[in-house]
């Protein structure tokens, strides 16, 4: 069963798609530094990221200088929701500079859309 999942790579790329396994979002030599699930909240223009990847755990936001996001999602506020009683929601868009020089491309290897850098 395919579920909306995301990962963050060591190089700072946000990759997400409808996949059954998180590793399907990895390309070649990518290393994941966490992931979880995503949903779009169109009414408030937000991309909500939450929970933890079974394979890679919660995203390690502190390891990133910038987050590379597909250009198609310009204007969306990216928020990581911890869903626990200890952490407040982490506004990724406010803390990490988001580069929007990316294009969402279809990956035949993982049958999902992934973000790829376009110089």
The helix (H) or strand (E) run that includes residue 93 is helix 92-95
Contact, 59 vs 29, CB < 8 A?
Answer: no
CB atoms within 10 A of CB 104: 18
Going by the DSSP 8-state scheme, the letter that residue 53 receives in this structure is B
Residue 45: CA count within 13 A, CB half-sphere:
7
- How many separate domains does the chain show? 1
How much is the pTM?
Answer: 0.78
> What's the pLDDT at 66?
82
> What's the pLDDT at 35?
93
Distance CA 1, CA 96 (A): 32
**Strand 14-19 versus strand 98-107 pairing type:** unpaired
Contact, 26 vs 16, CB < 8 A?
Answer: no
> What's the pLDDT at 34?
92
> Digits of tens for pLDDT over the chain (119 positions)?
899 999 999 988 898 899 999 989 998 888 999 999 999 999 999 999 998 888 899 899 888 888 888 777 878 889 999 877 777 888 887 766 665 444 444 444 444 444 443 33
Distance CA 33, CA 116 (A): 17
What's the domain range around 42? 3-117
| Helix/strand/coil percentages in the chain, nearest 5 | 15, 50, 35
> What's the pLDDT at 113?
44
């Amino acid at each position: 069963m395919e579920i909306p999942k995301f990962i963050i790579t060591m190089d700072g790329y946000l990759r997400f798609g409808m996949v059954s396994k998180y590793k399907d979002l990895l390309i070649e030599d990518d290393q994941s530094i966490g992931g979880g699930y995503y949903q779009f909240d169109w009414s408030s223009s937000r991309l909500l990221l939450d929970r933890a990847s079974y394979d890679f755990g919660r995203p390690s936001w502190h390891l990133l200088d910038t987050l590379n996001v597909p250009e198609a999602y310009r204007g969306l506020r990216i928020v990581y929701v911890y869903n626990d009683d200890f952490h407040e929601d982490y506004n990724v868009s406010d803390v990490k500079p988001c580069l929007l020089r990316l294009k969402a491309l279809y990956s035949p290897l993982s049958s999902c859309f992934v973000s790829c850098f376009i110089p």
